[in-house]
Amino acid sequence: MKKTLAQMEDRESSARIDDIAALWVARMEARPLSAEEDSELDAWLAADIRRQGAFARAWAVSLQMAKAQALGRDFFTDPDQE
Amino acid sequence: MARVGNERALWLAQHILPHEPCLRAWLARRRVAELEIDDIVQEAYARLASMDSVEGVRNPRAYFLQTAHSIICTHLRRAQVVSIRAVDDTELSRFECEDASPESTVCDRDELRRIGDIVAGFPKQVAAVFILRRIEGLSQRDTAQRLNISESSVEKNMAKGIRLFMDTIALSGISSPCASNRGDEKNIGADGRPRKQCPD
């Protein structure tokens, strides 16, 4: 079955997927998801394998970023004081 | 479909993320018109995230490349395009990328500093939120109070930070010497050929 142009344009961009994946990861790290959010995330993930990958990648990235804690406060000039 | 767990996310962070620039460079060389590199990368992460076990993965970089290769083959087969040539393991582990050995061997200190530099380069508000949450270890609520913004704004800024970091990793990686060697002259292989496959 040939895809129509409209269907091709409808294909969610990987950048858009990354946006949403990052939001989910930030939310999960801030607090436990509500039951409703939990099923919303499941449904979102199930719809496209790329979303599952983006979510896993976003999570890995967040863990990687968290390592910065070892640098300590002194590494960063205070953005408030600039 | 199972959601990726924390343990696997850690494994990905440690063993796969550092090789992402390498994978992207490799994909760019064997570019297949119908497929976007970003799509292949996302799908490769999905496959690695959903594996029952990663214990058997000795050479994460080669495995990452092999996974991407298999994804390309699957898509091409589906699209009934002529198959691309098979790739053997030797080729995958030999693929040179100036970054690290197959074992992700990264100087921890350099990696940390690079992470810190990336964070420091974030937009002001994003960096401020990240520093309070992750460096000072404040809760979302306390961070919101300190910066006089809403909790949902804290969450959005954290997401923005993750998102920016994702792009940075795609472009230049976090930890490879590859990422720190900015001069183009350095990208010459031992054989004297330009090492274009590993752009900065």
- State the first-to-last Cα distance of chain A, in angstroms, to the nearest integer: 58
Q: Which of residues A59 and B196 earns the better pLDDT score?
A: A59
In this prediction, residue A10 has a pLDDT band, given cuts at 50, 70 and 90, of: low
Percent with pLDDT over 70 in chain A: 82
Q: What is the ipTM of this complex?
A: 0.85
Whether B194 maps to a domain, the answer reads no
pLDDT score, position B106: 54
Nearest chain B Cα distance for residue A30, angstroms: 6
Residues in chain A, overall count: 82
Domain-by-domain residue ranges, chain A?
A: 32-65
Mutation choice for B interface testing from A18, A51, A61 by most B CBs within 10 A: A61
pLDDT score, position B84: 58
A76 touches chain B (CB under 8 A): yes
Whether B61 maps to a domain, the answer reads yes
pLDDT score, position A82: 46
Mean of all residue pLDDT scores within chain B: 79
If asked whether residues B10 and B100 sit together in one domain, one would say yes
If asked whether residues B100 and B12 sit together in one domain, one would say yes
Contacts of residue B43 in chain A, CB cutoff 8 Å?
49-50, 53
If asked whether residues B147 and B87 sit together in one domain, one would say no
Q: Is residue A5 predicted with pLDDT exceeding 60? A: no
pLDDT score, position B93: 57
> From CA B52, how far away is CA B8, in angstroms rounded?
10
Hey, which residues does B194 pair with through a beta bridge?
B188
Q: Is residue A36 predicted with pLDDT exceeding 90? A: yes
If asked whether residues B91 and B42 sit together in one domain, one would say yes
Q: Which of residues B35 and B190 earns the better pLDDT score?
A: B35
A 4-63 residues inside an 8 A Cβ radius of B? 14-15, 17-19, 22-23, 25-27, 29-31, 41-42, 45-46, 49-63
Per-residue tokens: B18: 């550092």
Nearest chain B Cα distance for residue A37, angstroms: 14
pLDDT score, position B91: 62
Give the residue from A48, A70, A52 showing the smallest Cα distance to A60. Answer: A52
Average pLDDT over residues A58-76: 91
Contacts of residue A11 in chain B, CB cutoff 8 Å?
none
Whether B89 maps to a domain, the answer reads yes
If asked whether residues B61 and B19 sit together in one domain, one would say yes
Task: Indicate the SS3 state at residue B98.
Answer: coil
CATH number for the domain spanning B113: value is 1.10.10.10
Least confident of A11-25, B103-117, B174-188: B174-188
CB–CB contacts below 8 A, A to B: 163
Mutation choice for A interface testing from B6, B19, B23, B42 by most A CBs within 10 A: B42
Contact B141, A78 (CB under 8 A): no
> From CA A40, how far away is CA B30, in angstroms rounded?
37
- Which residue from A52, A64, A69 is facing B49, i.e. has the nearest CB? A52
> From CA B197, how far away is CA B54, in angstroms rounded?
27
B42–A17 C-beta distance less than 8 A: yes
Q: Which of residues B103 and A66 earns the better pLDDT score?
A: A66
If asked whether residues B74 and B113 sit together in one domain, one would say no
Whether B115 maps to a domain, the answer reads yes
If asked whether residues B128 and B65 sit together in one domain, one would say no
Residues 6+ apart with CB under 8 A from B113: A71, A75
Whether B167 maps to a domain, the answer reads yes
pLDDT score, position B111: 84
Contact B128, A80 (CB under 8 A): yes
Question: What is the per-residue pLDDT across B17-61, written as a single tens digit (0 to 9) for each?
Answer: 999 999 999 898 877 767 889 999 999 999 999 999 999 999 999
pLDDT score, position B50: 95
pLDDT score, position B65: 93
Q: How far is CA A35 from the centre of its chain?
A: 19
- Indicate the residue among B88, B105, B122 that finishes a domain: B105
A67-82 in b/e form (b: 16+ CB < 10 A) is bbbebeeebbeebeee
B9–A69 C-beta distance less than 8 A: no
Identity of residue A10: D
If asked whether residues B12 and B101 sit together in one domain, one would say yes
Contacts of residue A32 in chain B, CB cutoff 8 Å?
none
pLDDT score, position B57: 93
pLDDT score, position A1: 45
Question: What is the per-residue pLDDT across A11-28, written as a single tens digit (0 to 9) for each?
Answer: 789 999 999 999 999 999
Q: Which of residues A10 and B102 earns the better pLDDT score?
A: A10
Contacts of residue A50 in chain B, CB cutoff 8 Å?
39, 42-43, 46
If asked whether residues B26 and B57 sit together in one domain, one would say yes
- Which domain range does residue B130 map to? 108-174
